[in-house]
Amino acid sequence: MTHTRPVYTVELAGLKRDLPLFEVKPGLKIAILNILGDTALVQASAKALSERLRAYAFDVIVTAESKSIPLAHALSLELNKPYIVLRKTYKFYMGEALHSETVSITTGKPQTLYLDEKDRAMLQGRRVLLLDDVVSTGSTLEGMRTLMAQAGAEVAVEAAICTEGDRERWKGIVALHHLPLFTD
C-alpha cells in the first residue's frame, strides 16, 4: 500500500530529509521529524549541536523519553558528558521519583515525566542542558524545567534539532533548524 502523504523537505546537519506532514488538529499540520533509527541524522545532528553547545558550561544532558534518547546518547559521546532520561511511565525500581505533568503536541494528552531516584543525586547543584528532538509547544521543556528545579539543578542551556511554530518564542534555544506550521 503506497501513501502519498505531503512532505516538507529540510536540510539538517548537511543531510536532506523529507518530513511527512500530519494533521494535529483541524486545519493544522506539522512536519514530523522522527530520528529513531536514522543513525546518520542522529550522528550528524549531535556533531553539529555539539559545536554550538561547547560555548555553554553544563555538567549533565537531560532529555525526555523517547525520540530524543539516541540524540542524547550521541551528544553525550561528542561532549563527554553524562545524560539522564526522564521517563514517561513510573517503574517500581525508580524509587522516590520526582514527577511533572506535560502535554505533547503529538499525543494531545497530558503525560507525566519522572526523574528516577538514582538520577536525582547526579543533578543536585549541577548545571544541565535540556535536550529535545523538536520543541513545538514548549510543554515538554516546561515539564523538564519543573523537574530540574525540584531536583536542585540549574538549567544552563536548552537545545533541539528543530524548533517549530513561533520562531520568536524559541530564540533562546540552540537549534539546527526551524520548522513552520502548515495551515489549510
From residue 126, give the alpha-carbon distance in Å to each of 20, 48, 138. Answer: 38, 24, 22
H or E stretch covering 43: helix 39-53
Mean pLDDT (the chain) is 92
39 domain-assigned? yes
Q: Give a yes or no: residue 6 inside a domain.
A: no
The answer to whether 32 and 22 are in contact (CB under 8 A) is yes
Question: Does residue 11 sit within a domain?
Answer: no
Domains in the chain: how many in total? 1
Question: Does residue 17 lie in a domain region?
Answer: no
Cβ-contact 176, 49 below 8 angstroms: yes
Residue 169: CATH number of its domain: 3.40.50.2020
Residue 161 inside a domain? The answer is yes
93 vs 116: CA distance, rounded Å: 8
Residue 67 lies in a domain: yes
Q: What would the pLDDT profile of 160-172 be if each residue is shown by its tens digit?
A: 999 998 889 999 9
pLDDT at 126: 97
What's residue 10's pLDDT? Answer: 96
Q: Give the C-alpha separation, 24 to 183, whole Å.
A: 11
176 pLDDT above the threshold of 80: yes
Nearest to 158 by CA among 142, 178, 137: 142
Q: Which domain holds residue 130?
A: 35-178
Give the pLDDT of residue 150. 95
Within a domain: 4: no
pLDDT at position 108 over 90: no
pLDDT by residue (tens digit) across 47-104?
999 999 999 999 999 999 889 999 999 999 999 999 999 999 889 999 989 999 877 6
2 within a domain of the structure (yes/no): no
- Whole-structure pTM value: 0.92
